[in-house]
């Protein structure tokens, strides 16, 4: 199949798997390494090279780490214009690199930064871009099969990009495993190529006036999550105490976040985070599909709800009908008691 319209490209000119290494102030976003590990698998299958794309200011160490983590090569665009992240200079640099080097596949983290970047750079490349993929594979012709849950998570749609390149996909944090971090080998630097920076500060369209990060929890790392919904009725203390006793984190539905009971960074679901803890306790959560989508990958799900017919019970391993304001404190007391005995 040829590109009937669009850029009229020859897809055979495009090869290699690229991973965009998202970083802020020299620190890589964890999803970058998860994608690098997945990209390694895909590149091995297509027999192509895995290339890390590292853009920033003073980020050569990340290019070397990418090589240590399995990239065959790293492309490094290192310049003050790239810190902090802005869509327009990153987009312009990416456009130039794609034109010159023609990657076949590009993987990008499904963070706010990654989605901002992916949406911008897919357009000039006339690339196919699939958002929030949960499975990535290649078919016998080397085409990327990018699968994502469709609305509500009831079905998986597999998206292909037969006639356009690159084939781009974003993937949320926590979907793939990063593997073990490796020490940079002595010759890692040899596999890093500094590329020409094509953006000048005076050509940019935006200025970051202030950037305040840190001190915000990352619930995607937690092994245990105690999540609350509308049933909290303004009191999340039982969640906090149980999470503390279990060494876990508090999370919430969109409804609880909108009420202001729990901070937005802890929201699970379609417009929040995707989590896969060992234990997910859903308290006072009815089980709307938008929420289920964000927690369905949890190992064990517990539901606590006053409504015996709440849909969440159908998506839980263990369910108890009751008020979370009674059930959770009782459970917390029991957990603490056993811990004391054990101590």
Partner 1 sequence: MNDGWNIVVCVKQVPDADDVTIDPDTGTLNRSDAPAVLNKPDHNAVESALALRDAVGGTVTAVTMGPPPASAVLQAAVAAGADGGVLLTDRAFGGSDTWPTSLALARAAEELDADVVICGEESTDSSTGQVPPGIAAHNGWAQLTYTESLDPRPDEGVLVGTRDVEGGYERVATALPVVVAMVFGANDPRPAGLHRKIFAETEFEPVQWTAADLGIEDRVGLVNSPTKVGGMDTASPVERERTRVDSVEALYDHLAEVL
Q: Considering only CA atoms, which of 47, 1, 6, 39 is closest in space to residue 20?
A: 39
CB of 310 to partner 1, least distance (A): 11
Kindly tell me which residue out of 23, 93, 104, 111 binds partner 1, with binding defined by CB under 8 A: 111
In a 3-state reduction of DSSP, which class is residue 175? coil
Segment lying near partner 1 (by CB under 8 A), choices 56-64, 129-137, 186-194, 226-234: 129-137
Q: Is the Cβ of residue 72 or residue 336 nearer to partner 1 in the bound state? A: 336
**Interacting span for partner 1 (CB under 8 A) from 51-59, 63-71, 85-93, 181-189:** 85-93
Near partner 1 by CB under 8 A: residue from 179, 296, 323, 336:
296
| Backbone φ and ψ of 310, nearest 5° | -60, 135
Is the Cβ of residue 39 or residue 294 nearer to partner 1 in the bound state?
294
Q: If 0-12 CB within 10 Å is exposed, 13-18 middle and 19+ buried, where does residue 276 land?
A: middle
Q: Which of 128, 174, 229, 284 binds partner 1 (CB under 8 A)?
A: 128
**Token digits of residue 60:** 């050569």
- The first and second tokens of residue 113, run together, are 């930064």
Q: How far apart are CA 253 and CA 243, in angstroms?
A: 16
**Binding status of residue 137 toward partner 1 by CB under 8 A:** no
User: Which CB sits closer to partner 1, 49 or 306?
Assistant: 306
Is 210 a binding residue for partner 1 by CB under 8 A? The answer is: yes
Helix pair 112-125, 87-101: axis angle to 10 deg: 50
Cβ proximity of 293 and 303 under 8 Å = no
**Binding of residue 297 to partner 1 (CB under 8 A):** yes
Cβ proximity to partner 1: between 191 and 312 the closer is: 312
Segment interacting with partner 1, rule: CB under 8 A, options 45-53, 63-71, 177-185, 315-323: 315-323
C-alpha to C-alpha distance for 226 and 237, rounded to whole angstroms: 11
Q: How far apart are CA 308 and CA 141, in angstroms?
A: 50
201 touches partner 1 by CB under 8 A: no
Smallest distance, partner 1 to C-beta of residue 183, A? 27
CB of 166 to partner 1, least distance (A): 10
Lookup: tokens for 275: 């989590």
d(CA 18, CA 52): 6
Q: Give the nearest distance from C-beta 65 to partner 1 in angstroms.
A: 19
Q: Does 84 bind partner 1 (CB under 8 A)?
A: yes
Rg of the chain over Cα atoms, rounded to whole angstroms, equals 22
The answer to whether the CB of 111 falls within 8 A of the CB of 173 is yes
Told to check if 142 binds partner 1 by CB under 8 A, we report no
> Of 34 and 64, which CB lies nearer to partner 1 in the complex structure?
34
**Residue among 234, 113, 247, 252 nearest 173 (CA):** 113
Q: Check if the beta carbon of residue 148 is closer than 8 Å to that of residue 181.
A: no
| The token pair that represents 290 in the structure block | 């938008």
Residue 38 lies near partner 1 (rule: CB under 8 A): no
What is the three-class DSSP state of 139? Answer: coil
- Residue closer to partner 1 (CB basis): 24 or 101: 24
In the set 72, 320, 323, 336, which binds partner 1 (CB under 8 A)? 320
Using CB under 8 A, which residues numbered 234 to 253 contact partner 1? 246
Q: Of residues 29, 97, 107, 251, which one binds partner 1 by CB under 8 A?
A: 29
In the set 12, 13, 47, 112, which binds partner 1 (CB under 8 A)? 112
């Amino acid at each position: 199949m040829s590109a009937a319209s669009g850029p009229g490209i020859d897809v055979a000119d495009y090869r290699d798997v690229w991973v965009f290494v998202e970083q802020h102030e020299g620190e890589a976003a964890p999803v970058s390494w998860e994608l690098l590990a997945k990209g390694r698998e895909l590149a091995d299958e297509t027999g192509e090279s895995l290339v890390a794309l590292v853009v920033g200011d003073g980020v050569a160490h990340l290019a070397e780490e990418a090589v240590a983590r399995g990239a065959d090569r790293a492309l490094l665009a290192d310049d003050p214009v790239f810190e902090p992240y802005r869509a327009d200079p990153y987009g312009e640099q990416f456009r130039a690199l794609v034109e010159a080097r023609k990657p076949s596949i590009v993987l990008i983290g499904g963070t706010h930064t990654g989605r901002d970047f992916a949406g911008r750079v897919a357009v000039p490349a006339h690339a196919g871009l699939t958002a929030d993929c949960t499975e990535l594979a290649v078919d016998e012709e080397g085409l990327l099969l990018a699968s994502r849950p469709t609305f509500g998570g009831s079905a998986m749609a597999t998206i292909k990009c037969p006639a356009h390149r690159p084939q781009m996909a974003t993937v949320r944090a926590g979907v793939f495993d990063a593997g073990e971090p490796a020490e940079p080998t002595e010759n890692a630097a040899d596999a890093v190529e500094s590329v020409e920076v094509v953006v000048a500060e005076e050509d940019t369209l935006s200025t970051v006036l202030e950037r305040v990060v840190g001190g915000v929890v990352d619930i995607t790392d937690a092994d245990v999550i105690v999540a609350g919904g509308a049933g909290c009725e303004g009191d999340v203390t039982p969640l906090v105490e149980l999470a503390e006793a279990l060494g876990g984190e508090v999370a919430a539905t969109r409804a609880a976040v909108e009420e202001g009971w729990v901070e937005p960074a802890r929201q699970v679901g379609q417009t929040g985070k995707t989590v896969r803890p060992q234990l997910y306790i859903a308290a006072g959560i009815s089980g709307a599909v938008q929420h289920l989508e964000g927690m369905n990958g949890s190992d064990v799900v517990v539901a606590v709800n006053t409504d015996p017919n709440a849909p969440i019970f159908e998506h839980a391993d263990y369910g108890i009908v009751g008020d979370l304001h009674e059930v959770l404190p009782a459970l917390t007391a029991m957990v603490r008691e056993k811990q004391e005995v054990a101590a």
